[in-house]
Amino acid sequence: MGTKRFSAVTPGRRFQIAPDFAEVTTDRPLRALTGPLKGTGGRNNLGHRTSRHMGGGHKRRYRMVDFRREKLNVSAKVATVEYDPNRTCRIALLSYADGEKRYILAPDGLSVGDVVVASDTADIRPGNNLRLESIPLGVQVHNVELKVGAGAQMCRAAGAFAQVMAKEGKYVLLRLPSGELRQVLGQCRATIGQVGNLDHENEILGKAGRARWMGWRPQVRGTAMNPIDHPHGGGEGRTKGGRHPVSPWGKPTKGYKTRSRKKPSNRFIVKRREK
């Protein structure tokens, strides 16, 4: 796991920093654990564009990752570590003792031949999955559930991890990557370790074409538009129109709180994320 730089033979190569894929052991996914993935172009089921700057990109197949880890007390050996075009981290193919195969997110330090298990009595080793109440204080975890049995929702990106800080009653206190302190039910499951591919944050695309391969279309600044197209548009010379930054529809874009106060999950937040 690391990055590589290139000689400046072209303008696009001059500043490019790309992953070296040293940890990847195969270039073909297990076909039975993949499915078709249809591009949305930023549109919802009504055909309305709800997310801008999306479209095009290379064709992909979805890898069916096991976020539940409900196959308990059955050991599995890591068969391969693979690239997943749909996420920032790598995925590992597990071959269970009963013959079944599943994908999981590959934690840092997991390699081919390692044995992992989902069990409340498992060792505290990367890749093993336990209930939060069974994990000692101070241990780093990822792939954390928010609702019991619903599958992991938190700490799934490359390099992400949460830390078990305290246990009180039926809740476990976690420090999330944002710095937020949050209570999660101790019955929820989490995987030991930190998500792999730590150097993802150091990657530099190098050229606009690589962004297009990923399905990202160009973004035009509001100040470069006309007044009819954006609140920041128009004016003599460069100006923001004498107002705070807003979206094309007039909503503030910096520091504007959009979270609903009525959401029940708010009561589990002990400390807000660090600014």
Domain residues for the domain of 30 are 3-201
User: At 22, which CATH number?
Assistant: 2.40.50.140
In residues, how long is the chain? 275
Pairwise CA distance, residues 25 & 28, whole Å: 9
Task: Could you list the beta-strand ranges (E) of 97-231.
Answer: 101-105, 115-116, 129-131, 140-142, 144-145, 152-154, 162-168, 171-175, 181-185, 189-192
Is the separation of the CB atoms in 229 and 248 below 8 Å?
yes
Task: Compute the average pLDDT of residues 169-179.
Answer: 95
Mind listing the pLDDT tens digit for each residue in 111-128? 999 999 999 999 999 999
Separation CA 209–CA 125 (nearest Å): 40
Residue 155's pLDDT band, with cuts at 50, 70 and 90, is: very high
pLDDT at 238: 86
Residues 5-20: pLDDT tens digits? 999 999 999 999 999 9
Residue given tokens 């990109």 in the structure block? 57
C-alpha to C-alpha distances, 114 to 15, 96, 155, 163, 201, nearest whole angstrom: 36, 12, 22, 23, 26
11 part of a folded domain: yes
Backbone angles phi, psi at 80, to 5 degrees: -145, 160
In a domain, 206, yes or no: no
State pTM to two decimals: 0.90
- The answer to whether position 237 is within a domain reads no
Res. 275 pLDDT band, cuts 50 70 90: low
> Which among 23, 37, 127, 33 is positioned nearest to 82, based on CA atoms?
23
Q: What is the pLDDT of residues 237-274, one digit of tens each?
A: 888 778 899 999 999 999 888 877 776 677 888 888 86
Q: Is residue 67 part of a domain?
A: yes
What is the pLDDT at residue 61?
A: 96
Q: Say whether 89 sits in a helix, a strand or coil.
A: coil
Q: How far apart are the first and last CA of the chain?
A: 30
Looking at residue 252, the DSSP 8-state letter turns out to be B
Number of domains in the chain: 1
Q: How far apart are alpha carbons 41 and 198 in whole angstroms?
A: 29
Whether 214 maps to a domain, the answer reads no
Assess contact for 63 and 72: CB atoms under 8 A. Answer: no
Tokens 């009595």 sit at which residue?
121
Residue 135 has pLDDT above 80, yes or no: yes
**Is pLDDT at 71 greater than 90 in this prediction?**
yes
Q: Is the Cβ–Cβ distance between 116 and 76 less than 8 Å? A: yes
Mean pLDDT for all residues in the chain: 93
CB-based contact 107:124 (threshold 8 Å): no
Instruction: Tell me the pLDDT tens digit for each residue of 78-108.
Output: 999 999 999 999 999 999 999 999 999 999 9
Q: Is residue 254 part of a domain?
A: no
For residue 66, tell me if it sits in a domain: yes
Cα 189–Cα 191–Cα 192 angle in degrees, nearest 5: 130
Separation of alpha carbons 140 and 92, rounded Å: 19
CA separation for the pair 129, 33 (Å, rounded): 21
Encoded tokens for 152: 């992991």
Q: What pLDDT, on the 0 to 100 scale, is given for residue 260? A: 76
Does any domain span residue 84?
A: yes
